Chains A and B, each alone.
Chain A
Amino acid sequence: MRIKVRRPWPAALKGSRSEVGDGRGALSLCLAASVIALLVAPATVAVAQTRAPAPLHLEGSAAPEPWTRYRGWNAARWDDYNTLARRDLTRPPGQEIEIATVTGDPKKGQELAFSRARGGGCLACHVMGTSSQETPGSFAPDLSEIGAAGRTDQWLFNYVYDARVYNPQTSMPPWGAHGFYTKGEVGDIVAFLKTLKAPATFKDALDDPQKRKQPVEDREALDPFVNPAAERIEVGAALAAKPVGNGKSCVSCHADAKAAFAGWATSMPRWEPRLNKVLGVEEFIYRHAKATLDVDWRMQSTANTDLSVYLHSLSNGREIRVDASSPEAKAAVARGKTLTETKIGQLNFACIDCHTQEHGALKWLRGQWLGEFRGQLDHFPTWRTSRGTGETWDVRKRFQWCAVQVRANELPPDAPEYGDLELYLKSLNQGLKLTAPNIRH
């Protein structure tokens, strides 16, 4: 058997990722050995490294096949734009468009700028004068006086149409070049910008993104009356004790799961040589249970998420301590960092655009506070109150959500790119205490 990387990997990274042979010859031996090893439950990392590796089902995907987007999510496809796996799709910017005078309808421009119907609207990131009709964001410069800033029509036009002609790393989406607005509509928006000449006034502190109070998440995350995901701890524990597939259950081997897995989730994800990729908790659940219990607990199934909640909860209060010391893990972390700097989707955002302080982090995206990388990986799986009646999401689903929000096709949850990303982000959360399941908007 051979594990194949399913997507072309950019040439620069190819050297670090190769196909691996089979370890199956040793697997049956490992199986017996690891059962014993897990029963004695070594608690420290040093001991864990010397024991036989846990049996894993190595074939195929750990996600539903073929992968299809979740019901209720934006169903559009963005096949012409980069994803975290295909970083060669987005067309490079063209030349600066020469335009002496922009003629447009400022009233229509204002409607376009304030409407959320097409990319989210300018107010998500910019304050735009006193006429702002809703809580504006502070992600990007206040444009309330842009009409008096002495900018040429050509500069304004190109900045809205495709700001990459001035700054290749800009966080400003290429509104015209990526098809959100026609050239005529960009002209209307520019005509509106030229009318903005007075500083904004706000009706209250809530409306002013400079004065709006930073939200604090202080709910009792582990109280099932507060967090509906908290009761999944017990559901997951019950599932672990229930005979499945071949008649065995998790506790057949892991008699004292609470002790054996205390701290385990804080060490995940980890580099897995047999899969030649970074393995997270949820993919581990599928591959290990498939190999040992003959059960199909695919990633994103209710059973998988319940077990993930349970296993994470056994590490609550412990510090995150992922192991990124091996050369392979270091390479994965480096790839993960590159992924965070990769512009994806129709909106052309990279992770760093919103989640580093040099860019949008600790600022407002309309009414939403953008957090930094550190602090994002200590609370998954998490209950998302913003999703209908609420849903429990593991971190991979959160990655997928980010992709769809920037209008990029998401990857299957077991994609090696998400593994690299998770390991890199988790390494930035080193030392933070895990609380899972948690609760977030």
Chain B
Amino acid sequence: MADDIKPRIRVPQNPKKGDVLEIKTLITHPMESGQRKDTQGNTIPRRIVNAMAVTYNGKPVFSGKLEPAISANPYLSFFVKVEESGTLAFEWKDDDGSVYTAEQKITLA
């Protein structure tokens, strides 16, 4: 299912100004480590999400470099303190050059 790459985002409901929100992210991805061999003994080429970055209204709030030991379908969560309504922009970088993006609007009560 290497081509079914789909990001998922989960943010808390009805946030208020000043709240610290836990943002959960999950991306369906095989995260092929590059260490495995196929039945013919050939190395299966590495293909992982190697980096993730998140901005809120353009300002970076979270970023990470991912390594081959990270499981398939990496699930990353982090906390953001929100002082204003805005948009979280997510970006995952794939070894094959693809970039997957997602956005999540946050409206403060």
Contacts and interface: CB of A to CB of B under 8 A. Distances in A.
Nearest to A306: B1
A231 B75 contact: no
B28 A231 contact: yes
A238 B4 contact: yes
Contacts of A225: 8, 10, 24, 26, 75
B33 interface: no
A256 B6 CA distance: 24
B71 interface: yes
A228 B73 CA distance: 8
Interface in B18-55: 24, 26, 28
Question: Which of the listed residues A225, A238, A389 has the most CB atoms from chain B within 10 Å of its own CB?
Answer: A225
The majority secondary structure among interface residues of chain A is: helix
Interface residues of B, number: 12
Interface in A206-258: 224-225, 228, 231, 234-235, 238
A298 to B, nearest CB: 16
A235 B10 contact: no
Contacts of B71: 389
Nearest to A389: B71
Contact of A224 (B4, B8, B72): B8
A235 B4 contact: yes
Contacts of A228: 73
A243 to B, nearest CB: 15
Interface string A302-333: 10000000000000000000000000000000
Contacts of B1: 235, 302
Interface residues of A, number: 9
A227 B71 CA distance: 15
A302 B4 CA distance: 14
Contacts of B6: 231, 234
A335 to B, nearest CB: 38
Contacts of B4: 234-235, 238
A77 B81 CA distance: 57
A420 B73 CA distance: 37
B8 to A, nearest CB: 6
Contact of B73 (A231, A234, A238, A302): A231
B23 to A, nearest CB: 11
A389 B74 CA distance: 12
A429 to B, nearest CB: 30
Contacts of A234: 4, 6
A132 B74 CA distance: 40
A416 B15 CA distance: 55
A302 B72 CA distance: 15
Nearest to B1: A235
Interface in B53-94: 71-73, 75
A389 B10 CA distance: 22
Contacts of B10: 225
Contacts of B72: 389
B22 to A, nearest CB: 11
Interface string A377-397: 000000000000100000000
A224 B26 CA distance: 8
Interface string B1-14: 10010101010000
Contacts of B8: 224-225, 231
B104 to A, nearest CB: 14
Contacts of A389: 71-72
By Cβ-Cβ distance, the 4 closest A-B pairs, closest first, are: A225-B24, A389-B71, A235-B1, A225-B10
Given A224-B26, A225-B26, A238-B4, 17 more contacts: A224-B8, A225-B8, A225-B10, A225-B24, A225-B75, A228-B73, A231-B6, A231-B8, A231-B28, A231-B73, A234-B4, A234-B6, A235-B1, A235-B4, A302-B1, A389-B71, A389-B72
20 contacts: A224-B8, A224-B26, A225-B8, A225-B10, A225-B24, A225-B26, A225-B75, A228-B73, A231-B6, A231-B8, A231-B28, A231-B73, A234-B4, A234-B6, A235-B1, A235-B4, A238-B4, A302-B1, A389-B71, A389-B72
Interface of B: 1, 4, 6, 8, 10, 24, 26, 28, 71-73, 75
